[in-house]
Every structure is written in C-alpha cells, then in structure tokens.
Amino acid sequence: MSRLRRLGLRARLATALGAVAVAAVALATLLANRGLDASLTDFARERLQASADHTAALAARFYQREGGWNERVADELRHVAQANQMSLVVIDAAGRHVLAPTGARPADAERASAPVRVGARRVGTVSVASLGSGLLTEEEQDLRSRLDSQHMVAGLLAVALALLAAVLVASSLTRPIRRLTEAARRVERGDLSTRLRGDGGGAEIEQLAHALDRLSRTLEREEELRRATVADVAHELRTPVSGILGRIEAAQDGVLDDERANLESMHTEALRLTRLIEDIGRLADAERPGLLLDRTALDLADVARARAAVYGELFERKQIRFRQQLSPAAMHGDRGRLEQVVDNLLSNALRYTDPDGAVVLSTRRQDADVLLEVADTGHGIPPEDLPHLFTRFWRGERSRSRATGGTGVGLAIASELVRAHGGRIEVDSAVGEGTTMRVTLPAGPEPHAPKTDPIR
C-alpha cells in the first residue's frame, strides 16, 4: 500500500483500472467456462438417457420376438452395447441379471436407466454407462478442451486490451491535471499572469481550473494593488518629509529669518504625516478579512447628530451653511465604525465645498433599509473619476487634493466599513453642482417595537 501511494496519479489510475479490467475478464472467463461445462454435462446426461431409452426399446422388441429373456436376447443386447461403446446391464422383472455389466467401467460411473415394457407390462430394466474416462465422450472432451483454449486466448487478449485502455484513460484523465499542476507551479514561482484552464478534463476539472484561475487573478490584482499602495504611500510621504527636511536644512544653514513661521510649517507637515499614518492604519483595519463589529441597537440619526456637533464649528469657520435633516433610522451596527463613516463623508464635503456653499446631512428609513446622505454644493466629480472614487490613495487632481490636505483613503475606509455592515455606498455627482454620498444599511426594529427574534 505504501508503494502504491508513492506512485503518481496516472500510474495509480492505470493500476486500478487495469486491476478492475483483469478481474472482470477473469470473472467472465470463469463464468463462461463453468456455464460451458454445465451445458456439456447436461448434454452428455441427455445423450446417455437417450441411449438408455433406445436400448430399452430394443430389449422390449427382442423380448417380444423371443417370448421372454434368453441367451439369444442377451447376445443381441451385448452386440448393441459394444457397437455403441457403452456398458450395459439388463435385469428382469424379478431382479435377476439377464446381462451382466459389459465393458470395463468404474464402480462410481454415472449411469442412466430405462424400463423395458411390453405393452403395459414391465418386464425388466436396462442400465447404461459410457465407456472411457468420465461422462463425456472423447469428442466432447476434445471440444471442451478446444473451447477452454479459445477462452484463454480471448481472456488474455481482453486483458491486454483492457490494460491498454486503462493506460489511455488514465493519461487522458491526468493530462489536464498535469497542465494545472504546471500552471500552479508557474504561479508559485511568481508568474501571476498565468491563466489556468481545465480543457478536456470533465466538469470537475474545469471547475477546479476556474477556481484556481480566479485565485490567480485575485493574487495578481492583490500584487498590483500592493505595489500601487507602496508607490502611493512613498509618494504621499515624500512631500511632507521633503518639506520638513528642507526647512531643517534651511534652519541649520541660517537662511530663514522667521523661525516661528518655519516651526509652524514643520508642524503642519508633521500633522499631515500623522494623519496619513493614522488613515493607513484605519484602512488596514477596515480591509481586514472578517472585520469584527461590536453591533448594538442604535439610531443612525443619533450617530450622525453627535458627529454633526463636532463638524458644525468647522463648517461655520469656513462659512459653509450646514443643515441637518435627521429622521429616526433604527439599526444594529458598530457605533464607533459608523462614526468613522460619518466623519469621512463630512470631512470630504468640508474639504471640497467652497465658502458660501451648503452641506446637508440627513438620515431616514426607507423600506427595509436606513439611509445616510451627505449632500454638498462643492466642485462635483467628473464622470471619468467616479469609478475610482473608493480606490485607496486615488485622488482626482492630485495637486489640488494635496492642497486641501486629503490623504486619498477616507472614502476607501468608509466604503469598507459600510460593506462590513452589509450595506453599500453610492455617489451622485455633477461637475459644478455638487455631490451626494448615499449610504444604505440594513434596518433594525423600529424604536420601542417589541422584538420577536434575538439579534445574533
């Protein structure tokens, strides 16, 4: 068994299929031989019984002609036995031997008997047996021998063909698996552009190939995203670090007159670095598989109202009208994570809305969902930028984005947190008119409504 495990799949399949084929051929040959033997034996018994019946008919004719049993009848029956190469015994009605056994025959030889009748009267019994070895005649034994030989040849030929078919079938079954294995090894070596196909391997192999191909494509996308993330992080860090180093070097060289302004600028760049690092950490948490949420029953309106109180002064300082339209929106969610979503949406609206503009924060229940919307009268988003809006580190008009202080991960964080709650985030925007960010989340029971099922 251990040696079989060390064989390849093709060898094991060929061995298994060959063994099944050999067993099937052997069983078929055995059953055919047994059936043939039984048929020949039945035929020989029928032949022997026919000889007994024929001899009994002759004995009755001789008896009737002679008027009884006598030596002349015995001689004629002896002649019949010799002519038919059989051992013959004739007994009269009283049980006396009319003709003793003729010919050499083993005591346990199979015999056939038939009554001798004259009219309706039974006058004796004949018993016959074949001469020679066994029940079969020499011709029948020769026929059986030839048929056995033909069966053996046919069986060996069938075994050879079955083994050949087993090898071919095993090769056809393992060929797509070998292709998949080679492709998987290329992926393992880092060639993530390798595509995996299961052509010719049946439905199961094709399903396996599709699954592996999807995995390869996912790994390829993740690798591209990783490289892009590293490049983006390096790019985002380079500007503030370069600014800080430049001002430090300028201060060391004594070319800056306003030391306080220099420190303020360095402090601003350091805060930007801190904000970027914190956002990257939040994004990593939000994208972690199986993000744990501390779900509780809450009203999304209360969450939005609490964060609006923090941002109200910021909007006022930038001379942006800030309105709240908060209707009850009961749900089950993680309050801290939902506060992050509201913060990111309000921060985005604050960043891209000019003075004298307006921002409206609203919540409401709609059928089986609750909605959170942040609408602004800001710059708007070009249609070609909308597909990239929730891509981490992506920002339209990078120079303008950097001037507004964005890191390019806020909306990506919001999108991941909303997805973790089983919701979705959508955007309606028109250039020069403004943008509406809409978050849709599964609703919970209405406030004060009796709960019928425990929250799991």
Model confidence over 115-154: pLDDT tens digits? 999 988 999 999 988 776 566 666 766 777 787 777 778 7
Tally: H helices and E strands in the chain: 10, 11
Assign 379 to helix, strand or coil. Answer: coil
Confidence of residue 324 (pLDDT cuts 50, 70, 90): very high
Report the alpha-carbon distance of residue 250 to residue 225 in Å, rounded.
37
Same-domain check for residues 302 and 435: yes
Chain segment 410-451, per-residue pLDDT in tens: 788 788 889 889 999 999 999 989 999 999 999 876 654 444
Same-domain check for residues 423 and 330: yes
Q: Which positions ≥6 away from 416 have C-beta within 8 Å?
A: 283, 286, 287, 291
- 217 or 314: which carries more pLDDT confidence? 314
Report the alpha-carbon distance of residue 237 to residue 239 in Å, rounded.
6
Chain centroid to Cα 423, Å, comes to 29
Q: What is the DSSP letter of 429?
A: E
Interhelix angle 410-420/335-352, nearest 10 degrees: 150
The pLDDT score that the predictor gives to residue 319 is 94
Task: Tell me the CA distances in angstroms from 287 to 69, 122, 195, 414, one per residue in order.
Answer: 115, 107, 27, 10
Is 159 part of any domain? no
Is 53 part of any domain? yes
Is 195 part of any domain? no
CA-based torsion, 245, 246, 252, 256: positive or negative: negative
The pLDDT score that the predictor gives to residue 277 is 75
Site of tokens 């947190």? 417
Token duo for residue 61 = 């004719």
Assign 301 to helix, strand or coil. Answer: helix
Is 54 part of any domain? yes
Same-domain check for residues 435 and 301: yes
Query: Hey, which of 103-107, 222-226, 314-318 has the most confident mean pLDDT?
Result: 314-318
Same-domain check for residues 295 and 267: no
Q: What is the domain-level CATH number for residue 428?
A: 3.30.565.10
Q: What is the domain-level CATH number for residue 279?
A: 1.10.287.130
- 301 or 1: which carries more pLDDT confidence? 301
Chain segment 67-98, per-residue pLDDT in tens: 899 999 889 988 888 888 788 899 998 889 88
Assign 411 to helix, strand or coil. Answer: helix
Which residue range(s) make up the domain with 319?
Answer: 291-442
Q: What is the domain-level CATH number for residue 15?
A: 3.30.450.20
Is 176 part of any domain? no
Is 301 part of any domain? yes
The pLDDT score that the predictor gives to residue 456 is 31
Is 180 part of any domain? no
Same-domain check for residues 400 and 297: yes
The pLDDT score that the predictor gives to residue 398 is 43
Same-domain check for residues 27 and 116: yes
Same-domain check for residues 277 and 298: no
Number of domains in the chain: 3
Same-domain check for residues 270 and 392: no
Q: What value does the mean pLDDT take over residues 289-306? A: 83
Chain segment 174-186, per-residue pLDDT in tens: 777 777 777 778 7
Q: What φ, ψ does residue 358 adopt, rounded to 5°?
A: -140, 145
Site of tokens 């060391």? 252
Token duo for residue 57 = 């008919």
Confidence of residue 285 (pLDDT cuts 50, 70, 90): low
Report the alpha-carbon distance of residue 376 to residue 373 in Å, rounded.
10
Predicted TM-score (pTM) of the model is 0.47
Bridge partners (DSSP) of residue 437 are 374, 427
Helix, strand, coil percent content, the chain, rounded in steps of 5: 60, 15, 25
- Count CB atoms within 10 A of the CB of residue 7: 12
First and final CA of the chain: distance in angstroms?
A: 49
The pLDDT score that the predictor gives to residue 199 is 62
Chain segment 342-375, per-residue pLDDT in tens: 988 998 899 889 999 999 999 999 999 999 999 9
Same-domain check for residues 241 and 302: no
Tell me which of 118-122, 396-400, 401-405, 449-453 is least confident: 449-453
The domain boundary residue, chosen from 87, 106, 138: 138
The domain boundary residue, chosen from 269, 285, 301: 285
Same-domain check for residues 220 and 133: no
Is 220 part of any domain? yes
Same-domain check for residues 126 and 243: no
The domain boundary residue, chosen from 233, 263, 285: 285
Same-domain check for residues 434 and 303: yes
Q: What value does the mean pLDDT take over residues 311-339? A: 92
Q: What φ, ψ does residue 233 adopt, rounded to 5°?
A: -60, -45
Site of tokens 């590293």? 230
